[in-house]
Amino acid sequence: VTAGDEEAVRAANAAFYAAFEARDLAAMERVWDTSDAAVCTHPGWATLRGWAEVRESWRVLFANEQRLQFIITNEHVAGHGPVAWVTCDENLIDGAATGTVSCVNVFVRDPSGPWRVVMHHGGPVLQSR
Amino acid sequence: VTAGDEEAVRAANAAFYAAFEARDLAAMERVWDTSDAAVCTHPGWATLRGWAEVRESWRVLFANEQRLQFIITNEHVAGHGPVAWVTCDENLIDGAATGTVSCVNVFVRDPSGPWRVVMHHGGPVLQSR
């Protein structure tokens, strides 16, 4: 990825987590590729495919779950041309509890400019190394 | 992805799981991008970065674990240019036990032709929908 693309992808990744933390479904919809190509695997869940299914999962999560705080660490960006993938750790603070979710987000650059999430996979870190 | 690329990516994904099932480290090394770009998250593990770390994890897994059988389902290929990502379910049979791991594999087409795994993330499916 070029330096400019990397900066734009980091901004898109930050916008994704800002929407997540704010439980803002409209903001989440703006950062996603809202086509049938959207794929999302929440920690421990089966994979969801297509924006309708993915959107519904965010709606349910935002309606039901406690407010989470995210601290993103170990963010790495890689890519070629209009595709980039970010790997990072979501360090979650939920009241007194904490946990880590290891995560990969694939972004595609829309021909109109913005990078959009097309694939999100979060997996629970269950063991230390 | 073009039909030809999709076919080649499916073949590369199958070669990855064949190497995994055969516990064949040399074959695994042939299907991976063996550079610092390699990233791997095994189910429940923290993310490993760079081929040296990733290779060591396969060595340990192949030395210690029981033989696993894989049945890959829900395989979907997407991509643009030299990048493709495969999402699929690894249905594991380990003796009498079974389990599902939801998975995303990112492939990059080497200028010399082959598609190589640059990112593998497997997450345990812990709950039904």
- What's the CA gap between B109 and B66, in Å, rounded? 32
Judge contact between A47 and A54, C-beta under 8 A: no
Tell me the pLDDT tens digit for each residue of A57-68.
Answer: 999 999 986 777
Q: In this predicted structure, what is the pLDDT of residue B67?
A: 75
- Give the pTM: 0.94
Residues of B with CB under 8 A from a CB of A: 37, 39, 41, 43-47, 49, 74, 76, 78-83, 85, 87, 89, 100, 102, 104, 106, 108, 118-119, 121-129
- What's the CA gap between A83 and A1, in Å, rounded? 9
Taking CB atoms and an 8 Å limit, are B83 and A87 in contact across chains?
no
Sign of CA dihedral B57, B30, A122, A79: positive
ipTM for this prediction:
0.92
- What's the CA gap between A17 and A85, in Å, rounded? 15
Which residues, including other chains, have CB under 8 Å from residue B21's CB and lie 6 or more apart?
A: B67, B68, B69, B70
DSSP 3-state of A79: strand
Q: In this predicted structure, what is the pLDDT of residue A128?
A: 59
How far off is chain B from A44, nearest CA to CA, in Å?
A: 4
What percent helix, strand, coil does chain A show, rounded to 5? Answer: 30, 40, 25
Q: In this predicted structure, what is the pLDDT of residue A19?
A: 96
- What's the CA gap between A13 and A5, in Å, rounded? 12
Tell me the pLDDT tens digit for each residue of A83-125.
Answer: 999 999 999 887 777 889 999 999 999 999 999 999 999 999 9
